[in-house]
Chains A and B, each alone.
Chain A
Amino acid sequence: MSDIGSLSKGSSPVLRMESVRKTFGDTVVLRDVDLEVASHTVTALIGASGSGKSTLLRCANLLEDIDDGAIWLDGEEITDPRTDQDAVRRRIGVVFQAYNLFPHMTVLENITLAPRRVHGVDRTAAEQHARELLERLGLGTKAGEYPDRLSGGQQQRAAIVRALAVRPRLLLLDEITAALDPELVGEVLAVVRDLKGEGMTMVLATHEMGFARDVADQVCFLEGGVVLERGTAEQVFGEPQQERTRQFLRRIVEAGRL
């Protein structure tokens, strides 16, 4: 765990999870998860499908109630039942695998909904901020379009803008390229790289190992409901300590994904 400390650059972690347990019926998805995410760092969650990556992200955003353990956001315990869950979600942005844009709203309306309704930003200011963000992500001309007129890559970038529009403290990215055609993956990953450059704190669940190795400060390998191995990208990908991690990475290499 000492390597995590060196990553935190002296500040207290943005997100901290301790002994988190989450079950769905008889299925234990997260058995005993510990995680620390330092400010301005990127954490990549890797592991087989069903290893709990998405569930971990949903728990961090309180979209799922955890069974045991605790989660802190900026030092405040958010799993306390007295917490205002809506207030917590306001500080965390989420980008979903299937984009989840609102199909009955234009791109601009999708983006300004939360700033206007939740944060009380007036319409002009919200739209101006949204247009700036769209411009930066190369969607300047798409503000008035409905989501179904956009390509998958454009939809996912619009979804990223929507998450960024509320100026989140932490951004959770849940396999955001998994539903994209291979030639569209690059444009979305480029956006994430830019965000890292701007110092955004992010946790991403991903199957793009090359990207994880490239962008992540911390890589966590999930297996059997626990973080089986964690460390810098060089450590986890270069010299994996656990036999299961080595097996997983071997399979990935065989599939041509690394």
Chain B
Amino acid sequence: MTAVKEESGQEDPSGMPGGGDGYVPSQRRLDRERFKRTRARRATGIAAASTLVTGIVLYLVVVNAPGWPRTKETFFNGQYAREAFPKVLEGLWLNVRLLLICGVAVLVLGMLIAIARTLRGPVFFPLRALAAAYTDFFRGLPLIINLMIVVLGVPALRLQGITVDPVLLGGTALTLTYSAYVAEVFRAGIESVHPSQRAAARSLGLTNRQALRHVVLPQAVRRQVPPLLNDLVSLQKDTGLVSIGGAVDAVRAADIIVGRSLNYTPYIVAGLVFVALTIPMTRFTDWVTARMDRQRAQGGTL
């Protein structure tokens, strides 16, 4: 498929730019373009054929598997799918809200941690060390263990005034882990801004803080938009993990029906709903990345 994409980037031969100076394309150019068109057509043909063959082979392998009839009944049952779909969608609203709230919290906390890690001077050593320890710990800790500790462990303390709501606790756990990821993305961005930019800002009399705020951070954040969106896509599907604490999100909604019916179709439904939710976000990420690459290409000297 990529071959097709590359070729479509070529100029349309019928719309050759004339330049308005009476330019007539040479035979050499016409020959070249005819060759490129043939090559593009052949590449498209091969891609289509190989996709079709792969699809057919996969279908035959699955359908002819000894356990297929039983698998079909437990995973792809139309009746259970229809029953599960509205419940899963209802649960999904919780996932969306979690994504929005945790997303904002993660960006803010991640930025604060990243800034703390770049502070210079001995005064800031404790802050710097704390931020480094935080990212080391939460980046290494598996999210599911973090969730279990927070969602199950915190209520076990029976502390007054601390929530036992699995949604709030689950959201807290997600924020803790993802802030560590996002902090590293921001830090990489801050360090990618050339020191000469900071020198220019300082030479104008800006304080360290002003240089960071007006010169370094805007460039760092802009550069890191694609990886940030990537982390948000990850966060979006990981909101499904709050179900382990009993919060009724899309996964838990499916779980309830599965528990009652012993049919796994609702899981498939929930999975597809997450995929459907993630695809627009992924496409958006691709679009933003491509747009920024184009801008950079135009930038030339930078």
Q: Are B301 and A148 in contact (CB under 8 A)?
A: yes
Top 7 nearest A-B pairs (CB, nearest first) are A90-B205, A100-B200, A114-B204, A94-B203, A148-B299, A118-B205, A89-B205
Task: Decide yes or no: A61 and B301 within 8 Å by CB, A100-B196, A100-B197 being known contacts.
Answer: no
Q: Are B202 and A102 in contact (CB under 8 A)?
A: no
A66 to chain B, nearest CB (A): 16
A87 interfacial by beta-carbon distance below 8 Å: yes
Q: Write out the residue numbers on chain B whose beta carbons fall within 8 Å of the beta carbon of A92.
A: 203
Residue of B199, B203, B206 contacting most chain A CB atoms (<10 Å): B203
* A-contact bits for B218-232, CB 8 A (1 contact / 0 none): 110010000000000
Task: Decide yes or no: A89 and B203 within 8 Å by CB, A102-B197, A103-B302, A148-B301 being known contacts.
Answer: yes
Q: A86-B207, A102-B219, A148-B299 are in contact. List 20 more A-B contacts (CB 8 A).
A: A61-B203, A63-B199, A86-B202, A87-B205, A91-B205, A92-B203, A94-B203, A98-B196, A100-B199, A102-B197, A102-B201, A103-B302, A104-B219, A118-B210, A119-B205, A148-B300, A148-B301, A148-B302, A155-B301, A162-B204
Q: Write out the residue numbers on chain A whose beta carbons fall within 8 Å of the beta carbon of B222.
A: 104
Q: Within B40-92, which residues are at the interface with A (CB < 8 Å)?
A: none
Tell me the complex Cα distance, A118–B300, Å.
Answer: 31
Task: Decide yes or no: A103 and B205 within 8 Å by CB, A96-B200, A117-B214, A148-B301 being known contacts.
Answer: no
B17 to chain A, nearest CB (A): 22
Tell me the complex Cα distance, A140–B282, Å.
Answer: 43
Q: Write out the residue numbers on chain A whose beta carbons fall within 8 Å of the beta carbon of B197.
A: 100, 102
A200 interfacial by beta-carbon distance below 8 Å: no
Tell me the complex Cα distance, A239–B185, Å.
Answer: 59
Residue of A90, A104, A162, A163 contacting most chain B CB atoms (<10 Å): A104
Q: Write out the residue numbers on chain A whose beta carbons fall within 8 Å of the beta carbon of B204.
A: 89-90, 93, 113-114, 118, 162-163, 166
A175 to chain B, nearest CB (A): 13
Q: Within A109-136, which residues are at the interface with B (CB < 8 Å)?
A: 113-114, 117-119
A71 to chain B, nearest CB (A): 15
B109 interfacial by beta-carbon distance below 8 Å: no
**CB < 8 Å neighbour of B206 from A96, A118, A152:** A118
B199 to chain A, nearest CB (A): 6
Q: Within A54-68, which residues are at the interface with B (CB < 8 Å)?
A: 61, 63
B215 interfacial by beta-carbon distance below 8 Å: yes
**CB < 8 Å neighbour of B215 from A94, A102, A147:** A102
Question: CB within 8 Å of B: which residues of A?
Answer: 61, 63, 86-87, 89-94, 96, 98, 100-104, 113-114, 117-119, 147-148, 152, 155, 162-163, 166
Question: CB within 8 Å of A: which residues of B?
Answer: 196-197, 199-207, 210, 214-215, 218-219, 222, 298-302
Q: Can you name 14 A-B residue pairings with CB atoms under 8 Å?
A: A63-B199, A86-B202, A91-B205, A93-B203, A96-B203, A101-B200, A103-B219, A114-B205, A118-B204, A118-B210, A148-B301, A152-B301, A166-B204, A166-B205
Interface majority SS (helix, strand, loop, mixed), chain B: helix
Tell me the complex Cα distance, A257–B300, Å.
Answer: 29
Residue of A94, A98, A117, A152 contacting most chain B CB atoms (<10 Å): A117
Nearest opposing residue in chain A for B207, CB measure: A86
Q: Are A86 and B215 in contact (CB under 8 A)?
A: no
Q: Are A114 and B206 in contact (CB under 8 A)?
A: yes
B300 to chain A, nearest CB (A): 6
Tell me the complex Cα distance, A162–B205, Å.
Answer: 12
Task: Decide yes or no: A89 and B200 within 8 Å by CB, A103-B299, A104-B222, A117-B214 being known contacts.
Answer: no
A42 to chain B, nearest CB (A): 19
Task: Decide yes or no: A96 and B219 within 8 Å by CB, A148-B299, A162-B204, A166-B204 being known contacts.
Answer: no
B92 to chain A, nearest CB (A): 37
Tell me the complex Cα distance, A93–B200, Å.
Answer: 10
Tell me the complex Cα distance, A163–B204, Å.
Answer: 7
B158 to chain A, nearest CB (A): 51
Tell me the complex Cα distance, A102–B298, Å.
Answer: 16
B71 to chain A, nearest CB (A): 54
Q: Write out the residue numbers on chain B whose beta carbons fall within 8 Å of the beta carbon of A148.
A: 298-302
Tell me the complex Cα distance, A91–B300, Å.
Answer: 33
Tell me the complex Cα distance, A233–B198, Å.
Answer: 35
Q: Write out the residue numbers on chain B whose beta carbons fall within 8 Å of the beta carbon of A118.
A: 204-206, 210
Nearest opposing residue in chain A for B199, CB measure: A63
Tell me the complex Cα distance, A163–B203, Å.
Answer: 9
A164 to chain B, nearest CB (A): 11
Q: Are A117 and B210 in contact (CB under 8 A)?
A: yes
Task: Decide yes or no: A104 and B203 within 8 Å by CB, A98-B196, A117-B210, A148-B301 being known contacts.
Answer: no
Tell me the complex Cα distance, A77–B1, Å.
Answer: 68
Task: Decide yes or no: A117 and B206 within 8 Å by CB, A104-B222, A148-B298, A148-B302 being known contacts.
Answer: yes
Q: Are B301 and A102 in contact (CB under 8 A)?
A: no
Q: Are A63 and B203 in contact (CB under 8 A)?
A: yes
Nearest opposing residue in chain B for A159, CB measure: B200
Q: Write out the residue numbers on chain A whose beta carbons fall within 8 Å of the beta carbon of B200.
A: 94, 96, 100-102
Q: Write out the residue numbers on chain A whose beta carbons fall within 8 Å of the beta carbon of B205.
A: 86-87, 89-91, 114, 118-119, 166
Q: Write out the residue numbers on chain B whose beta carbons fall within 8 Å of the beta carbon of A86.
A: 202, 205-207
